[in-house]
Chains A and B, each alone.
Chain A
Amino acid sequence: MLPEEGSDLQIMSHAVVGYPSLEENQPAIDGLVRAGVKLIELQVPFSDPVADGATLVNACHQALQRGGSLATALDLAKQVCQRHPQVSFILMSYLNPLFRFGLEDLIGAAAEAGLKGMIIPDLPVENVEPLLPLCDDLGIAPILMVTPNTPEHRLERIGRAARGMLYVVARQGVTGKQSQWGEEFRCYLQRVRRYTDLPLAVGFGVRSEADLHALQGQAEVAAVCSKYIEWQTSLGSERAAAKLAELTAAI
Chain B
Amino acid sequence: MIRSEDGFFGQFGGRYVPEILLPALIELEELFADLRDDDGFWREYLLLAQQFSGRPTPLTPCPGLTRQLGGARIWLKREDLNHSGAHKVNNVLGQGLLVQRMGKRRVIAETGAGQHGLATAIMAARLGLDCTIYMGADDIERQYSNVFWMRQLGAEVVPVSTGARTLKEAMDEALRDWAASSDDTHYVLGTACGPAPFPELVTYFQSVIGLELKDQCQEEFGRYPDEIVACVGGGSNAMGVFAPFLDLPEVRLTGVEAGGTGPRPGAHSVRLSAYGDQQDAAETGIAQGFKTLFLQSRDGQLGATHSVAAGLDYVGVSPIVAHLTETLRLTPAYATDQEVLKAFQLLMRTEGIIPALESSHALAGGFKRAAELDKSQHLVINLSGRGDKDIFKIARAFPQPEWREFLDRELARQSNEKEGSTDVA
Residues of A at under 8 Å CB distance from B?
46-53, 57-58, 61, 64, 69-71, 94-101, 121-125, 127, 144-147, 149-151, 154, 158, 169, 172-174
Contacts and interface: CB of A to CB of B under 8 A. Distances in A.
B183 A50 contact: no
B162 A58 contact: yes
29 contacts: A47-B301, A47-B302, A48-B287, A48-B288, A50-B179, A50-B288, A51-B176, A58-B162, A61-B163, A70-B299, A71-B299, A96-B294, A97-B299, A97-B300, A99-B285, A100-B298, A122-B18, A144-B19, A145-B19, A147-B20, A149-B182, A149-B183, A150-B22, A151-B23, A169-B20, A172-B183, A173-B20, A174-B176, A174-B180
Contacts of B162: 57-58, 61
A174 B19 contact: no
In this complex, the interface size class of chain B, counting residues with CB under 8 Å from chain A, is 20 to 34
B289 interface: yes
Contact of B18 (A50, A58, A127): A50
B168 interface: yes
B301 A46 contact: yes
Contacts of A49: 172
B302 A121 contact: no
Interface of B: 15-20, 22-23, 162-163, 168-169, 172, 175-176, 179-183, 283, 285-289, 294, 296, 298-302
A129 B288 CA distance: 21
A99 B300 contact: yes
A48 B168 CA distance: 8
Nearest to A49: B172
Contacts of A70: 299-300
A95 B16 contact: yes
B300 A146 contact: no
A172 B20 contact: yes
A146 B162 CA distance: 28
A103 to B, nearest CB: 10
Contacts of B285: 96, 99-100
Nearest to B168: A48
A143 to B, nearest CB: 12
Nearest to B176: A174
Contacts of B283: 100
A49 B289 CA distance: 11
B170 to A, nearest CB: 11
A99 B19 contact: no
B179 A51 contact: yes
